Amino acid sequence: MCGIIAAISRKNIINILKEGMIRLEYRGYDSSGLAIIDNKNKILRFREKGKVNNLIKSIERSHLFGNIGIAHTRWATHGKALKKNAHPHISSNISIVHNGVIENYKEIKICLKKEGYQFSSDTDTEVIAHLIHFTQNKNNKKTLLTVIQNVTKKLKGNYSMVIMDKNNPNVLLAVRSGSPLLIGIGKEENYITSDQIALLAITQRFIYLHEGDIAILTHSDITVFNSHGISKKRKETQSKINFNNVSKGLFRHYMEKEIHEQPHSIRNTILNRLTKNKTIYFSEFNTRANKILSKTEHIHIVACGTSYHAGLVSKYWFESLSMIPCDVEVASEFCYRKFVVRKNSLLLIISQSGETADNLTALRTAKNLGYLGSLAICNSKSSSLVYETDFSLLTHAGIEIGVASTKAFTAQLTVLLMLVAKFINIKKHNIKLEHDIVNILNILPDRIESILRYKNTIYTLAKKLFYKKNIIFLGKGEQYPIALEGALKIKEISYIHAEGYPIGELKHGTLALVDSKIPIIIIAPNNNLLQKIKLNIEEIQAREGLIYIFSDLFTKFNQNNSNIIRFPYIENLISPIFYSVSLQLLAYYIALIKGNNIDQPRNLAKSVTVE
């Protein structure tokens, strides 16, 4: 969502802020801004609507110099994407950048207005800036730390933020509340960011703040206080992420690169987890986790967007392979309905980022409802979700920058299939099946490589579809969630209206839309459902539907051959992962032909940290 970068040094920090904002832009990209204290002790602020590049152009004209500064890339929540709403927000000597939402900002705003404060934006963040200034002026003997501690007690909601005070020009204050903030350690300089990606070009040394921490940074020192105001030493970690891995390399877009990285990211995800005895080994699981797993009689999956679709695929696997009943629902619904927790139920939250607010609210809502425990499947080790769940499994897909999730999705499915095999082992259902899953996971990266070789075929199809207004995706069984995911990818980056349906459901309403113009993409692998799918295809053909069938080289259909997109043979167990890659490529090429901003589609953000 929004991105924060701040720096304090003996040298000029402008380039650090600029580079950091460019790297953070994937998190939010409707406006950006920065503020520094210059050598005359004046706050200079620059803000622009739109891409970070607009801001950089306006800064470059000004030849800025500052040893301390804060910057922000925004995804609008309160107030439209306008220059006046871009961060930093200023109240006299105080300037701040903020990630999160202040739930009680309206009440505070009313009080501050009575005290004579005037507001120049529609944001909740400006309220914090004025409240800090007000509290500081009322208690002018108090330190900035005490002022911030007082202010945070009055705020409800999430407020990870960095504060810069012209009257204390040698310190930056950072508060972690609700979304991650980490400190980067440099040589005679220190930094704060919401995502290590912003700093990897200059440091690999990081300190992750804990929830409720307040940190004080000078160019040479870092002091951290916990939520009770007690000074704490937080562990320094060395980032293992290679800076080159966060560049596009020879690809045009991050999404294209991430689609092509999937054989590698899946290899990483299974690495050291498939044993020679053909069982699954999760080093993350301690005795307590294994105990919870062996007691589990029901799995309740909660997730959003693409991760929700991964959950839906796994429902088929959990129930048909490991015989464990499984329910899946979107987090934003789960939080706000009354439901009965099944006996011995495990809460499983799937999230690429681990910062999605809907998931975190779901987790906190579920805490005392009687689940056996909570398990996260996540791509970020340092995320709030991993921190707050009882145990977690990492997907090891590597940083994903394209907003439309691709390699994180297939890595989630890979971990879910491993978890299914683990349950088969624990429940001692069918050991041969567990071995089969291990064998198949071993060849999965090669299978993904084989479908990537078909990109020219998919590009040819994209050329037939890019000008369409609607596309329907159909699947059956495990391929139904893949149809949903294919439709989501198309909506996200090509802005074409698309819907996914179970193919058997089409006749119950949506068939009314079918004509010779709307393309209908049917995922039809050669499995036990194929005969039923063929019947449904006949029904569509009888209405002159414009059908494209995704299948394999050997399956026979009555349809015109030019409308059958044939891929290599794929084992049934991993066919959802395989076909999802073909739909990622289709969405990518349609968006490419349309000339859309593929990595940063309009109105979206990589991780949505507000409900």
Q: List interacting residues with ligand G6P (CB under 6 A).
A: 304-307, 351-353, 356, 359, 403-405, 604, 607-608
Residue 267 CB, shortest distance to ligand G6P, in Å, is 21
At residue 25's C-alpha, the angle toward residues 24 and 31, to 5°, is 125
Residue 99 CB, shortest distance to ligand G6P, in Å, is 15
Cα separation, 601 vs 606, whole angstroms? 10
Give the residue with the Cβ less far from ligand G6P, 165 or 258.
258
Residue 39 CB, shortest distance to ligand G6P, in Å, is 41
Residue 404 CB, shortest distance to ligand G6P, in Å, is 6
Give the residue with the Cβ less far from ligand G6P, 32 or 353.
353
Q: Which of 51, 315, 489, 606 is catalytic?
A: 606
Q: Do the Cβ atoms of 161 and 97 come closer than 8 Å?
A: yes
Give the residue with the Cβ less far from ligand G6P, 305 or 545.
305
Give the residue with the Cβ less far from ligand G6P, 263 or 305.
305
Q: Where does 179-261 have alpha helices with state H?
A: 254-260
Cα separation, 254 vs 270, whole angstroms? 23
Of all residues in this chain, which one has the CB nearest to ligand G6P in the complex?
305
Our CA dihedral for 229, 233, 238, 241, rounded to 10 degrees, sits at -10
Tell me whether residue 464 is one of the annotated catalytic residues.
Answer: no
C-beta neighbour count of 294 within 10 angstroms: 10
Give the residue with the Cβ less far from ligand G6P, 168 or 306.
306
Beta-bridge partners for 182: 193, 208
Q: Which of 2, 304, 326, 335 is catalytic?
A: 2
Instruction: Convert 216-247 to b/e letters by CB count within 10 Å (16 or more is b).
Output: bbebeebebbebeeeeeebeeeebeeeeeebe
Give the residue with the Cβ less far from ligand G6P, 24 or 546.
24
Residue 123 CB, shortest distance to ligand G6P, in Å, is 21
Instruction: Convert 548-586 to b/e letters by CB count within 10 Å (16 or more is b).
Output: bbbbbeebebebeeebbbebeebeebbbbbbbbbbbbbb
Tell me whether residue 343 is one of the annotated catalytic residues.
Answer: no
Residue 408 CB, shortest distance to ligand G6P, in Å, is 7
Residue type at 503 in one-letter notation: I
* CA distances for 258 relative to 239, 251, 266, angstroms: 20, 9, 12
* Cα–Cα nearest to 384, from 73, 100, 8, 55: 100
Residue 1 CB, shortest distance to ligand G6P, in Å, is 9
Give the residue with the Cβ less far from ligand G6P, 89 or 491.
491
Cα separation, 537 vs 521, whole angstroms? 11
* Cα–Cα nearest to 13, from 52, 67, 72, 88: 67
Catalytic positions: 2, 606
